[in-house]
Amino acid sequence: MLKIDRAKFDPIEKSDFPEIVERKGIGHPDSVCDAAADACSRALCRYYFENFGRYYHHNVDKAALVGGISKPELGGGLIIEPEYFLIVGRAINQIMRENKLEYIPVAPICLDACRQVVGNVFRNIDMTSNNHIQFDYAVRPGSIDLTGVFEESDAMEQIPLANDTSFGVGYAPFSDVEKITLEAENLLNSGAFKDKCPASGEDIKVMVQRVDKNVDITVCGAMVSKYCNDKDAYVNATNQMKDAVLDLAVKIIPEKNCTCSVNVGDNVEAGLLYLTITGTSAEAGDDGEVGRGNRSNGLITPCRTMSLEAVCGKNPINHVGKIYNVLSTEIAREIVEKGQGDIIEAHVKLLSQIGRPITDPWVNSISLIPADNVSFDSIKKIAEEVSRNRLSQEYLIDLRERLIAGKVQVF
Amino acid sequence: MLKIDRAKFDPIEKSDFPEIVERKGIGHPDSVCDAAADACSRALCRYYFENFGRYYHHNVDKAALVGGISKPELGGGLIIEPEYFLIVGRAINQIMRENKLEYIPVAPICLDACRQVVGNVFRNIDMTSNNHIQFDYAVRPGSIDLTGVFEESDAMEQIPLANDTSFGVGYAPFSDVEKITLEAENLLNSGAFKDKCPASGEDIKVMVQRVDKNVDITVCGAMVSKYCNDKDAYVNATNQMKDAVLDLAVKIIPEKNCTCSVNVGDNVEAGLLYLTITGTSAEAGDDGEVGRGNRSNGLITPCRTMSLEAVCGKNPINHVGKIYNVLSTEIAREIVEKGQGDIIEAHVKLLSQIGRPITDPWVNSISLIPADNVSFDSIKKIAEEVSRNRLSQEYLIDLRERLIAGKVQVF
Amino acid sequence: MLKIDRAKFDPIEKSDFPEIVERKGIGHPDSVCDAAADACSRALCRYYFENFGRYYHHNVDKAALVGGISKPELGGGLIIEPEYFLIVGRAINQIMRENKLEYIPVAPICLDACRQVVGNVFRNIDMTSNNHIQFDYAVRPGSIDLTGVFEESDAMEQIPLANDTSFGVGYAPFSDVEKITLEAENLLNSGAFKDKCPASGEDIKVMVQRVDKNVDITVCGAMVSKYCNDKDAYVNATNQMKDAVLDLAVKIIPEKNCTCSVNVGDNVEAGLLYLTITGTSAEAGDDGEVGRGNRSNGLITPCRTMSLEAVCGKNPINHVGKIYNVLSTEIAREIVEKGQGDIIEAHVKLLSQIGRPITDPWVNSISLIPADNVSFDSIKKIAEEVSRNRLSQEYLIDLRERLIAGKVQVF
Amino acid sequence: MLKIDRAKFDPIEKSDFPEIVERKGIGHPDSVCDAAADACSRALCRYYFENFGRYYHHNVDKAALVGGISKPELGGGLIIEPEYFLIVGRAINQIMRENKLEYIPVAPICLDACRQVVGNVFRNIDMTSNNHIQFDYAVRPGSIDLTGVFEESDAMEQIPLANDTSFGVGYAPFSDVEKITLEAENLLNSGAFKDKCPASGEDIKVMVQRVDKNVDITVCGAMVSKYCNDKDAYVNATNQMKDAVLDLAVKIIPEKNCTCSVNVGDNVEAGLLYLTITGTSAEAGDDGEVGRGNRSNGLITPCRTMSLEAVCGKNPINHVGKIYNVLSTEIAREIVEKGQGDIIEAHVKLLSQIGRPITDPWVNSISLIPADNVSFDSIKKIAEEVSRNRLSQEYLIDLRERLIAGKVQVF
């Protein structure tokens, strides 16, 4: 049931409620959980496929990152208790093949995936010991019931059936505020910037607010104590971050007036600094879960329609909670691109029904905002075509492969 | 900055996108996490106050409910591995008073709170052993930094300062679909219904979809195996649930045409039933986290603006992520009530700024839909008055006390 | 290879090195581990037999009782962190029967067994919550290799083959010091004494030293704070313990001169008391393991030959580390009893060889001390007969059943 | 109370009960626990001393090594669940200094110590991930009571007071059987041998039995699957082990007739081999604890008097359970050495009393077996002198330093 209409609301750039956008950077405890959970799903997919020639049921979309206890100081400090990361979920762990039980090493697969994520994200976490972080798993086999649906639709040449009644939503394009939010974090966590400013840790939260043309960018970044031997070094580093963000803003959203503050909670004189040893607040009691941070497009956008579904850790075969959120964003982006300027905004909502082929959503609703003087009918056709194409089996298998390869943004 | 305007969108009852609403019942793994996390916060508040005459910093808004492994059968079955519940967060656990360290028994407080929640929710979980569920805790002291803000604003006669820049959203009134979603779950999990239909477990998910006047209610309920000695008993019980929901619908949303299905995934003939021993899917591998289920008004409403904030487990003193979500709903409801029919819908958005008094949101935006022939100016005044009153210190302290007493819906 | 000789050493009552004997009471952390581990083995045996008509391999002879943190005070006090009990071992958890996997609920079986032990031992531990103690399990399936030996010898009509090369040792009778050590603890932990003196907790250690006829009994007992409202109550209770022990000594070892001290580490004036809330030192950081306390005859006797084998938690079918220790004591006792005064001491050593029937030890060595004027040959015959009888299949099956029924002292 | 007498028993070499000696190699689960626990104590000592100029109370003499689940195969295999190592104990973790709390990072200190031990012991455990083994800690502060005794006697210039009433025992020299038991394991786990025979894992148990001159050496060694591509390779490796042991026996105990068997439980034809991926049985469900393996002289000797005390993990300052066991062996060895052939055997028993200076045991008993034609009086003097010297404060401080430096055998 494809339904395409003209959006009743104003484009985001013209709405007069303050636009608010947030991104929890890759080192934020919630983002770490997201990344690790998704890495587990991808690793399980690869293992199943390499060893059994097909995918098996799994859902590892829960985790707890228990923050540690630390006493950072200018120039160093002490980790008193390590962080503790627990991956939680379900995965088939034994398969009867020719009357013989074969075992899937779910625990090492998941532990490895989680470790690699943490090792890749944090430059200053000691991964040669467990002094900074411990890894644990609670991934158990699922109930027979739940796996039933999966079994029937597993063959790759078949169209998988939705595992649930679930809702996905996407839109395009990003507003200026959304752009700067995402790109500022990307920049501050890039290798190039870290080379210049090693004192900036990976746990960076970017909150951006816009009223009319005025954009306030607030960056909250855990600083790495060993690179801050004194307060001056600390202040220099936060200033570097601020300057980098403002430079970027001038480039990518030149039409807005931007300000930027970094670590507004600090009181430098009183010695209240946002210091960490490892570059993340998780070292000192800030905790994380899967699905509590960025949506699958990388942002938290309370002014947009959002799905509560946690995308990370869900299987990319038949879990519509994952597939439809990613897919609706891809559809919206393709529509806008194909519109070549004729389409100001595209909003896509997909609703599955349990047991229905994922190529055939129960509700498939697209809202478009045409550019001035553009006829709705002309852009409607574009949307129709894009939607049909993106919901084809070929495209969904391609999307699955990209998800498994880790090539799609999911948080 | 209070801003009241006329909403640009249609009332929900007139929107033509399928209205979708969901409620995860009290026995759903995510709801159990929400309930337990909030119970921990309330118990900590009481302990701090009783022993120190004030509240101390805490934030226990994370948890993992790791599902167990079970083999339910008609008439009974076997729990193979218990569920495992881990409460995660931060709470001050030692206080220096008159040069002596005093200890707060954070672990027993939290373990107790979690146990009581689980014991109260589930009629068929064995709480006299750990065979069905284990309880664990990872609640550690927070960083000095984070607690700093709290300290300064702790006195009850003072106005607490917001602990974060955070967004809360609320609306009123409930649509018909929202009403039936919430009330159906309340009914099915009421003592009266359980007395009549003990076979229905507490893990009940209600999903409702509306197109025009047609409302489809889908109930997904874990059935309790010991009360289902055969398939007939199972089918009878699910039929009882269906009939109860349809009876309720006739009463509370008489203008809609309702259908109801229970456990659509079943294949009774093939023996595929949604059977559990304890009444929750968590016994067999379905897992839960805090903040992944219902919003603070009890519902998941993808067609409404939602906040991603987890409300449960946050402290009710200065954690705007909790306070503003609950408060905005209370404001919206009061506005609609005071409007005595003149106000079709009220939508409230509150945005805090870290360090700003919680009585003074940085953004306070109210959108109203007046009834036909009602002047916007007349209802604007009502909203203004309600907003001012609800953001007073008296009201916020009253709200805090109600939150601590557990008298406010938070999930 | 049965070998019976005359002992070369003096009877213990005549040895002139100070005789030292110790008993860790039932509430000592090590004893709790022993009791819980053995209860798990017995419960597994029962489950296997009831559900499969035979016993399966298991070995749950490891555990950790992690002590809690508490702040006891006269009249009460605070538990700050609960104890944590982890049962560790191996047990077959799935069995292929008629091409279908059947699951053994190893976790609930073990958790239940451990809980019951703790609940039975401690009068003042709160078992309706996890505030005082948490229970956890790490009982995993064993390697295929190890279970191999077991499989072949499982049938009850067959003679099990030893699972290991292992050494068991026993002797009889108890010396006076051994008697008073064992009986003093039994008395102090009896229901009758606890009724009279509820302030005495179950964690009681009795150390007895003898030089010639002088016997010093040192009792170290955790006192229960809620029954000690002031120092007087505390002192009264410890005096009650002392008097009870001295009364007992007069009755059962009248020929010795006994003194008794209770809690010698106390400094009552300075307020240094051995106070606990729950009656065990495990509430405040004293930890326990399996096999670190009493030998299978209930005592620690450095002046006697002892086996290091942990008896508790081992399976009673083919685990000679358990069977031979218990059996050698039973043989020694029967020999002395049958001797009707002619045999002063009997010492039995049994050595198995892996894969050899347990009825046929590789080494079976008995040393006897005859009474004055008794010929060695006459008592040798008694020993021969007893040994043959006790190593019969009938007796070993009887012993197994008594072990599974919990009727044999094992720690 | 020093008491020196002539032993009443025969020298071990002349006793006619089968002499039985065992050594659990460094890779045995119990030995790993011993090593790790002791490493934690040493690391804590160093930390306390470096940061506070003194030692603080700790006792980390408990641990659980929970075996993993694996499926080794010739040439490789699969780790399905990692081992789990839990260190358990007590250690002071915060110290009030000049009105400021200072924190001791007990968790990282202990985790690090345990990791290093495991990494050093096992050549084939992957320490760059947690796929083979996880590390955890449950080291909590002790009760105030227990630490009290410690505080008073902490200064290094003072003589520490015994923390407990405890018994230590030692003897010299090693019998031939004891020598070959210890040295065979040392050899098989030496770098040189591993270079030649990488297929032999570190989990090696050596059991030696002697009847008269006939010595049977049974070696049970976990073989490393990746170095055993087929059965021949496996058999070659076990033969290498056998040959190495027999060669050694010829050298160090030439007067005995030795046989040696390796892995007697194997059935090579049937494919029952003692294969492991990591070189330890702990990878597949064999579990370990502290204090369940070798005594402090490196051996399990049921024919000798043994102490049940776990030496590893206890603090070397005032924990007589550790100090007196190590010391009595050192005294016995020195006596025999000083005897220059006049003393066949020396046996030392030391008994402390709680609160008594450790230089002044309550009982200090030495039994000597003089060589033929040697007068007891002459050797008695040697023993007296050695004992006096070894119980001096200087020697005890020297012993403490050697223990902290890890230079003394403790298991």
* Same-domain check for residues C324 and C255: no
C71: closest chain B residue by CA:
B103
- pLDDT category of residue C144 using cuts at 50, 70 and 90: low
* Percentage of the residues of chain B whose pLDDT score is greater than 90: 83
Phi, psi of D227 (to 5 degrees): -100, 5
User: For residue D148, is pLDDT > 50?
Assistant: no
- Selecting from D105, D131, D136 the residue whose C-beta is nearest the C-beta of A108 gives D131
D69-78 pLDDT, tens digit per residue, is 999 999 999 9
Query: Cα distance from B115 to chain C (closest Cα, Å)?
Result: 7
Q: Among the residues of A53-105, which ranges form H helices? A: none
User: For residue D83, is pLDDT > 60?
Assistant: yes
User: For residue C16, is pLDDT > 60?
Assistant: yes
More confident residue, B166 or B361: B361
> Residue D377: is it exposed, middle or buried by C-beta count within 10 angstroms (0-12/13-18/19+)?
exposed
Average pLDDT value for residue range A198-225: 96
CB contact (8 A) between residue B17 and residue A284: no
pLDDT value, residue B158:
73
- Look at residue C312 and tell me if it is in a domain: yes
SS3 D318: coil
Looking at beta carbons, which residues of chain C come within 8 Å of B79?
105, 108
Residue of C128, C131, C133, C137 to mutate when probing chain B, most B C-beta within 10 A: C131
Residues in B whose CB is inside 8 Å of some CB of C read 69, 71, 78-82, 103, 105, 107-108, 111-112, 115, 128-131, 134-136
Query: Cα distance from B110 to chain C (closest Cα, Å)?
Result: 9
- Selecting from B81, B111, B115 the residue whose C-beta is nearest the C-beta of C107 gives B81
Amino acid identity, position B234: Y
Residue of C110, C145, C266 to mutate when probing chain D, most D C-beta within 10 A: C145
- Look at residue D91 and tell me if it is in a domain: yes
- pLDDT, mean over chain B: 93
Average pLDDT value for residue range C82-106: 90
D154-181 pLDDT, tens digit per residue, is 454 577 888 887 889 999 999 999 999 9
Average pLDDT value for residue range B224-248: 98
Looking at beta carbons, which residues of chain B come within 8 Å of C108?
79-82, 129, 131
A89-103, A201-215, B124-138, B236-250: the lowest-pLDDT one:
A89-103
pLDDT value, residue B167:
86
pLDDT value, residue B159:
79
- pLDDT, mean over chain A: 93
Average pLDDT value for residue range D357-369: 93
A21-25, A98-102, A317-321: the lowest-pLDDT one:
A98-102
Q: Is the ipTM of this complex over 0.85?
A: yes
Distance CA D276, CA D117 (A): 19
Sign of torsion, CA B357 B358 B362 B366? negative
Query: Cα distance from D12 to chain C (closest Cα, Å)?
Result: 13
C104: closest chain B residue by CA:
B80
- pLDDT category of residue B157 using cuts at 50, 70 and 90: low
- pLDDT category of residue D398 using cuts at 50, 70 and 90: very high
pLDDT value, residue A61:
97
Residue of A145, A207, A364 to mutate when probing chain B, most B C-beta within 10 A: A145
D118: closest chain A residue by CA:
A129
A31-79 pLDDT, tens digit per residue, is 999 999 999 999 999 999 999 999 988 999 999 999 999 999 999 999 9
Residues in D whose CB is inside 8 Å of some CB of A read 69, 71, 78-82, 103, 105-108, 111-112, 115, 128-131, 134-136
Average pLDDT value for residue range D29-38: 98
pLDDT value, residue C152:
42
B349-380 pLDDT, tens digit per residue, is 998 888 889 999 988 999 999 999 999 999 99
- pLDDT category of residue D354 using cuts at 50, 70 and 90: confident
pLDDT value, residue C105:
96
B179: left (phi over 0), alpha (psi -120 to 50) or beta: alpha
pLDDT value, residue B8:
84
8 A C-beta contact, residue C60 and residue C88: yes
pTM above 0.90, yes or no: yes
* Same-domain check for residues D78 and D149: yes
pLDDT value, residue D146:
40
Sign of torsion, CA A17 A297 A217 A75? positive
Residue with tokens 């947690």: D130
- Look at residue C17 and tell me if it is in a domain: no
* Same-domain check for residues D317 and D170: yes
pLDDT value, residue C225:
98
Average pLDDT value for residue range C332-345: 97
* Same-domain check for residues B274 and B313: no
Distance CA C135, CA C113 (A): 10
CB contact (8 A) between residue C349 and residue D17: yes
Subunits in contact with chain A (3 or more CB pairs closer than 8 Å): B, D
A179-196 pLDDT, tens digit per residue, is 999 999 999 999 999 999
* Same-domain check for residues C141 and C33: yes
Distance CA B94, CA B102 (A): 5
User: For residue A101, is pLDDT > 90?
Assistant: no
CB contact (8 A) between residue C64 and residue D86: yes
B122-138 pLDDT, tens digit per residue, is 999 999 999 999 999 99
- Look at residue C97 and tell me if it is in a domain: yes
* Same-domain check for residues D170 and D309: yes
Looking at beta carbons, which residues of chain B come within 8 Å of C115?
129-130
* Same-domain check for residues A315 and A182: no
Average pLDDT value for residue range D133-145: 86
CB contact (8 A) between residue C129 and residue B115: yes
What token pair was written down for A60? 């590892």
pLDDT value, residue A144:
57
CB contact (8 A) between residue C17 and residue D88: no
- Look at residue D158 and tell me if it is in a domain: no
C-alpha radius of gyration, chain D, whole number: 23
Average pLDDT value for residue range C281-286: 92
Residue with tokens 């879960």: A289
User: For residue C100, is pLDDT > 80?
Assistant: no
B302: closest chain A residue by CA:
A307
Residue of A131, A132, A283 to mutate when probing chain D, most D C-beta within 10 A: A131
Average pLDDT value for residue range D23-33: 98
8 A C-beta contact, residue A263 and residue A220: yes
pLDDT value, residue C157:
56
**Distances in whole angstroms, Cα of residue B181 to Cα of each of B260, B280, D221:** 11, 19, 64
- Look at residue A23 and tell me if it is in a domain: no
- Selecting from C71, C108, C129 the residue whose C-beta is nearest the C-beta of B131 gives C108
Average pLDDT value for residue range C255-283: 95
Average pLDDT value for residue range B183-197: 98
User: For residue D39, is pLDDT > 60?
Assistant: yes
Q: Which residues pair with B267 in a beta bridge?
A: B272
CB contact (8 A) between residue C308 and residue D308: yes
Average pLDDT value for residue range C234-242: 98
Distance CA C282, CA C201 (A): 12
User: For residue A104, is pLDDT > 50?
Assistant: yes
The CATH number of whichever domain residue B211 belongs to comes to 3.30.300.340
User: For residue C215, is pLDDT > 90?
Assistant: yes
- Look at residue B328 and tell me if it is in a domain: yes
8 A C-beta contact, residue A274 and residue A220: yes
A378-387, C46-55, C293-302, D12-21: the lowest-pLDDT one:
D12-21
Residue of D6, D12, D14, D62 to mutate when probing chain C, most C C-beta within 10 A: D62
A164: left (phi over 0), alpha (psi -120 to 50) or beta: beta
User: For residue D397, is pLDDT > 80?
Assistant: yes
> Residue D236: is it exposed, middle or buried by C-beta count within 10 angstroms (0-12/13-18/19+)?
middle
User: For residue B147, is pLDDT > 70?
Assistant: no
Looking at beta carbons, which residues of chain A come within 8 Å of D81?
105, 107-108
- pLDDT category of residue D102 using cuts at 50, 70 and 90: confident
Other CB atoms within a 10 A radius of the CB of residue C6 amount to: 11
A336-353 pLDDT, tens digit per residue, is 999 999 999 999 999 888
What token pair was written down for D195? 């270079």
> Residue C154: is it exposed, middle or buried by C-beta count within 10 angstroms (0-12/13-18/19+)?
middle
Average pLDDT value for residue range C75-80: 96
- Selecting from A111, A129, A135 the residue whose C-beta is nearest the C-beta of D111 gives A129
Number of domains, chain B: 3
Subunits in contact with chain C (3 or more CB pairs closer than 8 Å): B, D
Give the length of chain B.
411
D131: closest chain A residue by CA:
A108
User: What is the residue range of B49's domain?
Assistant: 29-153
CB contact (8 A) between residue D289 and residue C284: no
The CATH number of whichever domain residue C128 belongs to comes to 3.30.300.10
- Selecting from B71, B105, B115 the residue whose C-beta is nearest the C-beta of C130 gives B115
Phi, psi of A297 (to 5 degrees): -85, 5
Looking at beta carbons, which residues of chain D come within 8 Å of A94?
none
Looking at beta carbons, which residues of chain C come within 8 Å of B80?
103, 105, 107-108
Distance CA D247, CA D192 (A): 15
Residue by residue, DSSP assigns B198-261 as TTEEEEEEEEEEEETTEEEEEEEEEEEGGG-SSHHHHHHHHHHHHHHHHHHHHHH-TTSEEEEE
- pLDDT category of residue B243 using cuts at 50, 70 and 90: very high
E strands within A69-226? 69-73, 76-81, 83-91, 94-97, 100-103, 133-140, 167-172, 200-211, 214-224
**Distances in whole angstroms, Cα of residue A104 to Cα of each of A43, A58, A316, C143:** 12, 12, 19, 16
Domain stops at, among B289, B324, B346: B289
* Same-domain check for residues D321 and D218: no
Helices vs. strands in chain A: H and E counts, helices first: 9, 17
Give the length of chain D.
411
**Angle CA(D32)–CA(D38)–CA(D43) in degrees, nearest 5?**
120
Residue of B57, B133, B225, B287 to mutate when probing chain A, most A C-beta within 10 A: B287
* Percentage of the residues of chain C whose pLDDT score is greater than 70: 97
Domain stops at, among B235, B267, B289: B289
The CATH number of whichever domain residue B373 belongs to comes to 3.30.300.280
User: For residue B80, is pLDDT > 80?
Assistant: yes
Average pLDDT value for residue range C159-174: 89
* Same-domain check for residues D183 and D52: no
* Same-domain check for residues D6 and D78: no
Distance CA D282, CA D229 (A): 22
pLDDT value, residue D144:
57
What token pair was written down for A105? 């090493």
* Same-domain check for residues D170 and D307: yes
Domain stops at, among B121, B153, B185: B153
CB contact (8 A) between residue D289 and residue C292: yes
Query: Cα distance from C213 to chain D (closest Cα, Å)?
Result: 17
Looking at beta carbons, which residues of chain C come within 8 Å of B134?
111, 134-136
- pLDDT category of residue C1 using cuts at 50, 70 and 90: confident
* Same-domain check for residues D65 and D124: yes
User: For residue D152, is pLDDT > 50?
Assistant: no
- pLDDT, mean over chain C: 93
Looking at beta carbons, which residues of chain B come within 8 Å of C135?
130, 134
B34-38, B223-227, C316-320: the lowest-pLDDT one:
C316-320
**Distances in whole angstroms, Cα of residue A122 to Cα of each of A187, A191, A354, C96:** 15, 11, 39, 46
- Look at residue B45 and tell me if it is in a domain: yes
User: For residue B46, is pLDDT > 70?
Assistant: yes
Distance CA A216, CA B351 (A): 14
Looking at beta carbons, which residues of chain D come within 8 Å of C167?
20, 302
CB contact (8 A) between residue C82 and residue B111: yes
Q: Which of D408, D401, D347 is nearest to D156 (CA)?
A: D401
pLDDT value, residue D157:
56
Looking at beta carbons, which residues of chain C come within 8 Å of D365?
17-18
